[in-house]
Amino acid sequence: MGITGSDDGLLEVKPRDLDQLGLVGEVVRVNPKIINDLLDMGYLPVISPVANDANGQALNINADIAAGAIAGALRATQMLFMTDVPGIYSNWPDKTSLISEIEVSTLKSMTFADGMVPKVEAAINAVESGAASARIMDGTSLDAFTDALAGKGGTWVKR
């Protein structure tokens, strides 16, 4: 069932930086009630990461950031983040520097660029807000996805 971040107060958001980013929001709080209710009724929620702020203004939320916040609120066992590389590299683009597992505290001290920034931010947020772990993995590979479901491969982000 398709829902938005505004449905039943799922995402409480505020503008991230109106002057610089325009109508982009950040998640302040997650109320997972609608997700739990839909799951209890046998529905699979598909969430559009758009939510209204306190003034009713629709804001776009980065999908990875929204997913990480929701995973934390649901106390997920593991949040999977799919990207076009096998995981996080300590020395990108050196392909031999793939990190298999990393603690949030270490991850916070690292610097990232481009599309990896929101993935890492979302993984950190997911774990810090309640998810047991997160895994950043290659979403272009069925084998990588299958491995991730089994708790292997990619970069495992833990407490």
The mean pLDDT of the chain is 95
Q: Give pTM, 2 decimals.
A: 0.90
DSSP the chain: -EEETTGGG-EEEEES-HHHHSSBEEEEEE-THHHHHHHHTT---EEESEEE-TTS-EEE--HHHHHHHHHHHTT-S-EEEEESSSS-BTTTT-GGGB-SEEEHHHHHTS---TTHHHHHHHHHHHHHTT-SEEEEEETT-HHHHHHHHTT-SSEEEE-
Of 6, 4, 26, give the one whose Cα is nearest residue 15: 26
| Residue 93 scores a pLDDT above 90 | no
Of 10, 36, 128, 113, give the one whose Cα is nearest residue 79: 128
pLDDT tens track for 3-19? 999 999 999 999 999 89
Q: How many beta carbons lie within 10 A of that of residue 86, not counting itself? A: 18
- Confidence tier at 43 by pLDDT (50, 70, 90): very high
Distance linking the first and last C-alpha atoms of the chain: 32
Are 11 and 60 in contact, with CB atoms under 8 Å apart? Answer: no
Q: What pLDDT, on a 0 to 100 scale, did the predictor assign at position 125?
A: 93
Q: Residues of the chain with pLDDT > 90: what percent?
A: 94
| CATH topology for the 77-159 domain | Carbamate kinase (3.40.1160)
Q: Residues of the chain with pLDDT > 70: what percent?
A: 100
Domains of the chain, by residue range, sit at: 1-61, 77-159
| Residue 106 scores a pLDDT above 90 | yes
Averaged over 74-88, what is the pLDDT? 95
Q: What pLDDT, on a 0 to 100 scale, did the predictor assign at position 111?
A: 92
pLDDT tens track for 111-158? 998 889 999 999 999 999 999 999 999 999 999 999 999 999 999 999
